[in-house]
Amino acid sequence: MKKILTVVGARPQFIKASALSHALATEVELNEILVHTGQHYDENMSAVFFDELGIPKPAYHLGISGGRHGEMTAEMIKQLEQVFLKESPDLVLVYGDTNSTLAAALAAAKLHIPIAHVEAGLRSFNKRMPEELNRILTDHCASLLFTPTDVASQNLLHEGFEQNQITQVGDVMLDVALLSKERAQQQVSTQLLNTLDLQHKDYFLTTIHRQENTDDVNRLKAIFEGLSLIAQSKKVVLPLHPRTKARLAQFALNQLLDDLLVIPPLSYLEMVALECHASLIITDSGGVQKEAFFHQVPCLTLRDETEWVELVEAEWNTLLKPSHAQEIYEVAMIKQGSQGKPISPYGQGQASQLIVQGIKTLFA
Ligand code: UD1
Ligand code: UDP
């Protein structure tokens, strides 16, 4: 029996882990132990995903959140090292690019424990983003690099990795999306649309949380002035991330929320339901950009660059640096209801199975 210790901490990681944890649970010779760093802690940023997606209860919850990046990451490294020493795992499994990802990778690498990185190889080529540092460093600590796309695999080859270190498996978020779409439609859609008084393809869905947008008053102001302009003619639904809520209050920009339909963060199935029925998604989230495409909804991404360049090339996603409210308004109005070219860069929804195979090969 091989012991896999999976470290999660933030909302998108719970969602990704839901697919892989189920796949790992079917393997008799693999035993997964889940560790939650505590990075996301509100009920609707954490527990709701474990309940709704049937993710096993974490064996450890470290309760580490907030503070500056160095402080948070350091505390995680310290406590994860103790867990790794106690459990002696055969493999540490990490997802994506958060501080929880990097902390687990560094703690494991120093103890010479092999690391599997799911969503390896993504790059924005902007090292001012905390996520870019986290994923580059994690990739360079990892033994198993599971990439979602051709572009991600190419990025790793350019950084000097050997082809045999890289396993392209597709995107685990597609696995989850395919498993959940019908459930969302059947169990959640009608009631949620009724409750929020929304009509099919007659509203925009938006999420904003990325540090370079929330912590820069000019960008935050441009984004929310742009959304206010849009809201004069279109319903704009905003499940509000706690970081963004805090910054809007801090910069005295709360009045820009007045015309938006502001709601607390949603469960995954609720989010899928609102994505499917929107005529445009406006976001700075990594995961939501892809989900827009999975559900064939056009996306406007308010960032300077994206890791998911294939969606921009195929015109499913439009990238816009959020500097001017009027520009955000105009581009959103043009892009609503549009469709991109038919592409399938994220595999067939089998990423979890392929990752399990990759892990078994390591132990063979
Ligand atoms: C983190 C990740 C980001 C990811 C995002 C997903 C890093 C560096 N960033 O950003 O890559 O896209 O999660 O959502 O790891 N807060 C709450 N309740 C919560 C969680 C957060 O109030 O449950 C507030 C706290 O004030 C906290 C702030 O949000 O200080 C930021 O949280 P943090 O986890 O540091 O970063 P995110 O912006 O959520
Ligand atoms: N999500 C959710 N509820 C929300 C907003 C997002 O369930 O209110 C889901 C979304 O569907 C996607 C994931 O969270 O699966 C994306 O996470 P997030 O935007 O927090 O982080 P990122 O992907 O940018 O790292």
Mutate to test the pocket of ligand 1, among 39, 250, 302 (most ligand atoms within 8 A of CB): 39
CATH annotation of 177-335: 3.40.50.2000
Confidence at residue 321, expressed as pLDDT on a 0 to 100 scale: 98
User: Can you identify the CATH homologous superfamily of domain 2-171+347-363?
Assistant: Glycogen Phosphorylase B; (3.40.50.2000)
Token reading at 364: 């063979």
Dist. CA 289 → ligand 2 center (Å) = 10
Confidence at residue 291, expressed as pLDDT on a 0 to 100 scale: 98
Averaged confidence pLDDT in the chain: 98
Task: List pLDDT tens digits, range 317-349.
Answer: 999 999 999 999 999 999 999 999 999 999 999
Token reading at 79: 């406590």
Residue 186, CB-side half-sphere exposure with 13 Å CA sphere: 5
pTM (two decimals): 0.98
What confidence tier does 87 reach under pLDDT thresholds 50, 70, 90?
Answer: very high
| Contact (CB, 8 A) for 280 and 332 | yes
Confidence at residue 106, expressed as pLDDT on a 0 to 100 scale: 98
* Atom 20 of ligand 1, residue of closest alpha carbon: 40
* Tokens 């600590």 -> residue: 141
Task: List pLDDT tens digits, range 133-175.
Answer: 999 999 999 999 999 999 999 999 999 999 999 999 999 999 9
Distances (CA, A) of 344 to 46, 172, 309: 30, 14, 13
| Contact (CB, 8 A) for 260 and 266 | no
- Nearest ligand 2 atom, CA 283: 19
Confidence at residue 22, expressed as pLDDT on a 0 to 100 scale: 95
| Contact (CB, 8 A) for 100 and 10 | yes
Task: List pLDDT tens digits, range 11-43.
Answer: 999 999 999 999 999 999 999 999 999 999 999
Share above pLDDT 70 across residues of the chain, in percent, rounded to a whole number: 100
Does 177-335 match 2-171+347-363 at the fold level? yes
Q: How many helices (H) and strands (E) does the chain have?
A: 16, 13
Query: What residue segments make up the domains of the chain, in order of their start?
Result: 2-171+347-363, 177-335
- Nearest ligand 2 atom, CA 97: 25
What is the rounded distance in angstroms from the CA atom of residue 241 to the CA atom of residue 256?
Answer: 15
Dist. CA 11 → ligand 1 center (Å) = 9
What confidence tier does 262 reach under pLDDT thresholds 50, 70, 90?
Answer: very high
**Average of per-residue pLDDT across 281-293:** 98
Residue 130, CB-side half-sphere exposure with 13 Å CA sphere: 16
Residue 108, CB-side half-sphere exposure with 13 Å CA sphere: 30
Token reading at 111: 């103890």
Dist. CA 162 → ligand 2 center (Å) = 32
